[in-house]
Structures are given as structure tokens and as C-alpha cells.
Chain A
Amino acid sequence: MLEGKFEESSLMKKVVDAIKDSVKLCNFNCTEHGVTVQAVDDSRVLLISLLIGEASFEEYRCDRNITLGIDLESFNKIIKNGNSSDFLTLIAEDSPDNVLIIFEDKKKDRVSEYSLKLMDLDSDFLQIDDMEFDATITMPSSEFAKITRDLKTLSESLQIIVTKENVKFSSDGDFGTGNVVLKGFVDMDKPDESIKIDMARPINLTFGAKYIADIVKGTSLSESVTIKLADKSPALFEYKLPSGFLRFYLAPKFDE
């Protein structure tokens, strides 16, 4: 049996918001260590890897591994009904047909209970070996979201170029071009505002802007985002959770 209680429903709301536009159906795999999701978008360009660690829950119990096949659009309709500050509890039997979603208001004696029908989903699980990256950038997630939104208005591609001194985000469209250059710096007072650039080899990669626009929907999960890049390889974009992470792997574009 699974019984997981969150101190606030806001974490699950943000997680669902962050992934629902990339994938529609996915298995939530529940183990004694927490909840994981791995899912690939229909075009097989973007992969989502989520870990909500046991410590993200106020109370957590999962005696046997349980798979919850969830339609995220339906789940989102239910999860939106809770207030962000409500306790949120997920309950499922060992071989469940549905999952119970319970919201409890902390001040009033109001309990809202919903049941979501589960689906039997096939999922190709992809093997992601430990990848070696040539460059790692950590920056404020809101700044990365703004750069993405701004440059996406010019072109359907977004180029990321990393040199020793800086990282350049660039787009080249029909009516014009744009770029944003960031240098590494340390903000002692607000560490989350810092920009850290680690580069072993220079990088020049191009990605589909629409996919990065989906990735930045994770912005509300974390103050900062880490971007890991390697030549001619998928990039990794990571938002850290209080215990766990939301990672996106995005395949690059190549010259034909």
C-alpha cells in the first residue's frame, strides 16, 4: 500500500505543471525510497526524469513497489482543486485501479477527497548511463526562463555557446537576431542569484526553442537551474527539489 502525505500540495501542483505539457501519460513508480517518473515526449526529443524523494513527504509509506499509470491532464484537474497550503495525501492499494487524492485544510476542518482512475501504460524505459559533460552552468531559473521566452520570439532554434568566460544564448530568425551573454559571478548575499560556469571544453549546441520553453515550466520548483552540456549529445537541465529533482534531457539539433 502507498500512503504519502505532503506538508503542502504546492509541490505536486508545481511538478504536474512542469511536466504536463511535455508528456500526457506517465507511470508514477512508487518504492520505499519515494516516487519516480521517467517519460519521453511523443517526438522522442525530450525526456523527463523525476524523483520525489521520501524526505519530500511529511509521512511516507510504500511497502511494495506500486505503479500508478496517470493521465496528467486529468490529474491536473484534480490537483488544482486543492489550496497550495493544504496537506495533500495520495493513497493507493497494492494493485490499484485508482488513486485517492485527499486535501486537508490546516485551519478549518475541511477534507476534500478525490479518486482518479489509473491507466495501464506501456512505457519504454530508456537507459541513461552516467553521462560525461563538457560544460556545466548554474544560474537563476527565472533568468533562464526569461532568456528562453525572449529569444524564442525570434527563432524556433536556440543556440547555447559556452566559452571559458561566458555563456551565450543566441537566436537567428527571419526578421532578426538576438543574443544574451552572461558572465559567471558570485552573489555572496543571495547565492541563488549567482551564475557559475564550469567548462572543460567549449560548447556550441543548438536546441529546439519550443522544447526549452517546455523545460522552463519547471522554474517554480527551484530558484536555480543547472544546465549540463556535452558536444553532440543531449543536454541535461536540472531543477532540484527539496529531496529529489526534475531533470529534462533534450536532444540537440544537427547540421544536415
Chain B
Amino acid sequence: KKKQASLMAFFGKK
């Protein structure tokens, strides 16, 4: 079973 990653784990808030 695979889990969906969030974009927030990769991109920082500006």
C-alpha cells in the first residue's frame, strides 16, 4: 500500500 506525499514536504513557503 502506498501513501500519498504532500507537496509541503518538498516546497517551502515563501
Asked if A175 is an interface residue, CB under 8 A from chain B, the answer is no
CB within 8 Å of B: which of A187-205? none
Residues on B with C-beta less than 8 A from A102 are: none
A127→B14 contact, CB < 8 A? yes
Total A-B contacts with CB atoms under 8 angstroms apart: 55
B5: nearest chain-A partner, CB-CB = A251
Residues on A with C-beta less than 8 A from B8 are: 44, 126
A40: nearest chain-B partner, CB-CB = B7
A 140-179 to B, binary, CB cutoff 8 A, 1 in contact else 0: 0000000000000000010000000000000000000000
A36 → chain B, closest Cβ, in Å?
13
B13→A45 contact, CB < 8 A? no
- The tally of residues in B whose CB lies under 8 Å from a CB in A reads 14
B8: nearest chain-A partner, CB-CB = A44
B13: nearest chain-A partner, CB-CB = A124
A110 CA to B7 CA, complexed, in Å: 46
A 226-249 to B, binary, CB cutoff 8 A, 1 in contact else 0: 000000011000000000000001
- The tally of residues in A whose CB lies under 8 Å from a CB in B reads 23
CB within 8 Å of A: which of B1-14? 1-14
- Given contacts A125-B13, A126-B14, A127-B13, whether A251 and B1 have CB atoms under 8 Å apart is no
B7 → chain A, closest Cβ, in Å?
5
Asked if A66 is an interface residue, CB under 8 A from chain B, the answer is no
B3: nearest chain-A partner, CB-CB = A256
**Which of A125, A128, A234, A253 meets B2, CB within 8 Å?**
A253
A36 CA to B7 CA, complexed, in Å: 20
Asked if A255 is an interface residue, CB under 8 A from chain B, the answer is yes
A46 CA to B8 CA, complexed, in Å: 10
18 cross-chain CB contacts under 8 A: A43-B6, A44-B7, A45-B5, A124-B13, A126-B14, A127-B11, A127-B14, A234-B7, A251-B5, A251-B6, A251-B7, A251-B9, A253-B2, A253-B4, A254-B2, A255-B3, A256-B1, A256-B3
